[in-house]
Amino acid sequence: MLIGAFSAAAGGIWTGDPFAGLAIGIAAAMLGATIHAIWCITFQGDQIVAGTAINLLGLGIPTFLTQRIWSQAGGTPSVDRLPAFGPLNILVYLAFLIVPIVHVTLFRTKPGLRILASGEHPRAAESVGIDVGRYRYACVIASGALAGLGGALLSIGDLGSFSANMTQGRGFIALAAVIFGNWMPIPTMGATLLFGFAQNLGIQAQVKDWPVSRDLILALPYLLTLVAIAGFVRRSAPPAGLGRHAN
């Protein structure tokens, strides 16, 4: 998400077009996901170690580049934002559209069923001729594209610039939403709406000066994340092949 947020803002500044910036942000996030896929699928590295390394790169590289390119450590200059329809940015509507598309693709199409088989029982899928590696590559890179969209929403959708660590842990909240949603697209969307409600509740509490501790309000989304993981992690059923190599 940070790679996508920074690249979208930088692309928007260089091209003068927020849609071009969006494309650059998605492409950069997909590149990061491709590195992760090569590390874990081709070289069969540990997914947690690889993910942590890329996460650290996502934190450090944008900060370094903003200092080198624009001589300011806090973030990039202002950039034109993507258009909004009503109160919501165009990417929000796109996100709601993507969820049913992913659901139908996974459970109603042959490639989707092969994806599920590659995640549940990779060796069994290979035994019937499914190229597990290819489907895993496709899914990891697609997840990078979606993360890039999320990062672009923050930089050129809402704020109009990139700032250091602007995701503020939202990527980890996304992982919690997947667990909360039992690894299913539509329930996961419901979980993200719950976390978004908690975050917006904190903003409204500050604006309206509710008699509640400000620190507690700011921590509400993260507390909700811990409650979700603690309460649902035992009942959530991840893919059986998660973290396991196909061969």
Dihedral sign, CA of 14, 18, 19, 22?
Answer: positive
Same domain, 124 and 221: no
pLDDT given for residue 235 in this prediction: 66
Global pTM value: 0.88
Same domain, 43 and 114: yes
Same domain, 48 and 136: yes
pLDDT given for residue 14 in this prediction: 94
Cα dihedral angle (29, 35, 40, 46), rounded to 10 degrees? -80
216, pLDDT greater than 90: no
Same domain, 216 and 132: no
pLDDT given for residue 93 in this prediction: 95
Same domain, 146 and 180: no
**Domain boundary residue among 135, 167, 199?**
167
Beta strands in 55-188 (DSSP E): 84-85, 88-89
Same domain, 107 and 186: no
Domain count, the chain: 2
Query: What's the rounded Cα separation, in Å, for the pair 147 and 96?
Result: 14
| HEC letters along 149-191 | HHHHHHHHHHHCCCECCCCCCHHHHHHHHHHHCCCCHHHHHHH
**Domain boundary residue among 113, 146, 167?**
167
Q: What is the pLDDT of residues 146-205, one digit of tens each?
A: 999 999 999 999 889 999 889 888 888 888 888 888 889 999 999 888 888 877 877 777
Same domain, 30 and 147: yes
Quote the domain boundaries for residue 179. Answer: 169-247
pLDDT given for residue 244 in this prediction: 73
Same domain, 94 and 180: no
Reported as a pLDDT band with limits 50, 70 and 90, residue 73 is confident
**Domain boundary residue among 133, 167, 201?**
167
Same domain, 117 and 162: yes
pLDDT given for residue 9 in this prediction: 96
Same domain, 174 and 153: no
Reported as a pLDDT band with limits 50, 70 and 90, residue 95 is very high
Q: 76 with 66: CB under 8 angstroms?
A: yes
Same domain, 14 and 102: yes
Q: Is 16 left (phi over 0), alpha (psi -120 to 50) or beta?
A: left
Same domain, 122 and 242: no
